[in-house]
Structure 1
Amino acid sequence: MMATLAQQILDRFAEGGTLARADLVLDADYDSIGRALGELVKDRKIVRVSRGRYRKAEKGQAAPANTISEAIEKKVRRSKRNVFLRKDFVGLGSYDAIGRALKQKTEDGKLVQIGYGLYAKAQVSPFTGKPAPMVGIKRLATEALERLGKEVSVSSFEDAYNSGRSTQVPTGRMIAVKDRIRRRIGYDGNYVIFQRAG
């Protein structure tokens, strides 16, 4: 008797190893494999570890999303950091479960998403009644860039002001960075402007 598609996929997993969707060469179309993978994740037989990569679930490993959400909140509360990367929470659950839990924390107002895979500690603003980061946008962006391994320096506007060459007070939203930055960092329509450091 021919094994089901889901069973054929399960048989491809080595104990403890990960497998990419692209590596699954089976006698089935792309959509059918996608549906079978989705069912296996739903049944907690496999865990999605990143986009298109899966591993076999260990017994008793899959934690409910609300438990992961609580673990994220605890980690954020105890940390002295203002900025968190998605990878800070690896190990608390599967890729999808962490994504759902982070979404829940932003909806609860405990975190604010400030960029792709970037989150900041938040509290309700007394002015707007909406969740806002606990520190200013420039400090957030500087911390985020440093966590991403980018070298930050003073912008030309700040340098001119500090040295007395200009009387124009810098807005504080411009940061000089040695590397090229493609991502936007900010929240609620306010974004930091990046200047290429010389």
Structure 2
Amino acid sequence: MTIQDRIKTRVKRSKRSVFLRSDFKDIADYDQVGRGLRSLAREGVLMKIGYGLYARARVNRITGKLMPDNAAGADGVLIEAMERLDVGYKFDDLSNMNFLGQSTQIPASVKIVPTDPRFTRKISVGKQRVNEAR
């Protein structure tokens, strides 16, 4: 079984949808894992969302494009990525008002803002972004 096959098997069996490169360090060394992840991203099994961050992907039945394989969509992937990186985050004011029941307006997209100003890592899934100027 090749390194790529072992990574693919672990991704398919996992309950989580966001993976760090370090999740696969017991399979092979750093460079080999990177090559395996890149090839899986080219195949459409994974999609790269940031430096060393990958999300499990699937093909959208309607558009035929690659999308994250998460029930909560792009927002859920970004939240899971922030939690996997152990970075505190908060939501924008409009989203908070909706979550708390103070507003009936539902935002089209939830904006996630890191609470640590030193966190400069860019994470993006489609049009949803963390730390990236629009």
Identify the TM-score tier after normalising by the shorter chain: 0.7 to 0.9
Which residue is equivalent to 2:65?
A: 130
The letter of the residue matching 1:142 is I
Match of 1:85 in 2: 20
Gaps of 5+ in 1: 1-65
TM-score by length of 1: 0.58
Where relative contact order (Cα < 8 A, 6+ residues apart) is larger, the structure is 2
For 1:168 and 1:110, the matched residues in 2 are separated by 35
1:183 equivalent in structure 2: 121
Identity value in percent: 38
Q: What amino acid is aligned across from residue 122 of structure 2 in structure 1?
A: R
Matches within 5 A, 1:38-49: none
Cα deviations by residue, 1:173-198 (Å, 9 ceiling, x for unpaired): 3024321331222234x13246xxxx
Counterpart-to-counterpart distance in 2, 1:125 and 1:112: 13
Secondary structure of the residue that 1:183 maps to in structure 2? coil
Deviation string, structure 1 residues 29-61 (Cα, Å, up to 9, x no partner): xxxxxxxxxxxxxxxxxxxxxxxxxxxxxxxxx
Describe the SS at the equivalent of 1:123.
strand
**2:118 pairs with 1:169:** no
Greater radius of gyration (CA): 1
Q: What is the number of equivalent residue pairs in this alignment?
A: 128
Question: Which residue number corresponds to residue 77 of structure 2?
Answer: 140
1:135-185 Cα deviation digits (max 9, x unpaired): 211110110001101123343111223456545422233024321331222
AA aligned to 2:75 is: K
3-state DSSP of counterpart to 1:192? strand
Measured on the aligned residues, the alpha-carbon RMSD in Å equals 2.0
Structure 2 residues without counterparts, runs of 5 or longer: none
